[in-house]
Chain A
Amino acid sequence: MTKEVAVLGVGMHPWGKWGKNFVEYGVKAARDALADAGIEWKDVQFVSGGDTIRNGYPGYVAGATFCQAMGWSGARVASSYGACASGSQAINNARAQILAGLCDVALVVGADAAPKGFFAPQGGDRPDDPDWLRFRLIGATNPIYFGLYARRRMEIYGATEQDFAKVKVKNSRHGLNNPNARYRKEVAKEDVLSSAIVSDPLHLLEICATSDGGAAMVLTSMEYARKHATDPVKIAGVSTVTPNFPNTVIEMPNFATDSAAAVAPPETPFKDSITKLAYEEAGLGPEDMSMAEVYDLSTALELDWYENIGLCKPGEAEKLLNDGHTTLGGRVPVNPSGGLACFGEAVPAQAIAQVCELTWQLRGQAEGRQVENAKAGVTANQGLFGHGSSVVVTK
């Protein structure tokens, strides 16, 4: 099992709208992660930052920005961007350094201060940028794509607005006692369905907000970890795959899918391939997972993930939800943290936060939302422009 690295410490700055600089959120999370690991900042040999594109130049070089704020220590540094998958890019880069024997101790940090409302493309007149053009020519906001996926589930599987609303109800209960969650209020199905429609069939309460927040973790070699902790939680698989051609599902920020006129679509569609590689690296399968943290940018998207990560077959996600299997106390709770429904999205921190949650769960420290007898968990996420993101965490 030489491919494992240890999660020696984790830390987060609570999600919210705090009106502060993103660096403060990241440093708070980093300091908590170091304290949790029981090591000093100066022990860190490699710093892996998840970038934000919404906070000027310091956000583009997030790794070094956090290093400076923590106090220059001479550590090696990298900064990664992969849109919503930036956090797992940063995790993967830290892991690669450790597994290559280039360092024993790495600190992964991601933080964001997000604007209110719709995410917008970068400014200026940029007709060569598909992300700019999709807003200009179609008004295709992110919720437009979420709405297309949600409607597709209704049209081909007979999913209902009630099913989607129940995802929000579940997640709002999961996050009630999570000290890092932004929204800690129980939401009833009627609340969801009576909130304004943003992109039909999705209501305001079904689409994740944009948040400020920070998450960090100390990753180390297994050898180093054994000297500092008994039985640390491990990262057993990380997937940062891109799609295989042709990708026949319409995805942000594209105007069209790839054409399958000359080449047949791959056997494993992109979203299914994301966790597949992480499972393979870990030598585990979906049946071995005690829980999952998936990217519920919308309620309906959480149901897509159930199928993409192998918890059930295509078209069976609504049944899995309605039978209570993905609720705390069920067979495989999904988003025990409360998910994006309770957090909102702090882009470069989110994929790191997913792993923080699984770590607390596997240690038995997820007070008020503990998955019983948790042995392994998986995260799943996707960044626009084709970034897969999945991490398998084990006891």
Chain B
Amino acid sequence: MCLAIPMRVISVDGNLGRVEASGALLTVALDLVEGVQPGDYLLVHAGFAIARMDADEAQENLDIIKRLTESPEP
């Protein structure tokens, strides 16, 4: 239930952000984070960004997910 997904910010309009991950687009509320800029990575839970993620680490996180998804089953 506490699932949250890193998503990249495309644009910001007031307290709403347009975000993207793996081609999926979503509008999320930015009430719980500060100073969000396009290009930032946000952790998204139940329609809200709950944290800004360090871009390098977020990318590493997404890379791990991608590689694990692509790697053949043992």
Are A and B part of the same complex? Answer: no
Chain B positions within 8 Å of A, measured between CB atoms, are none
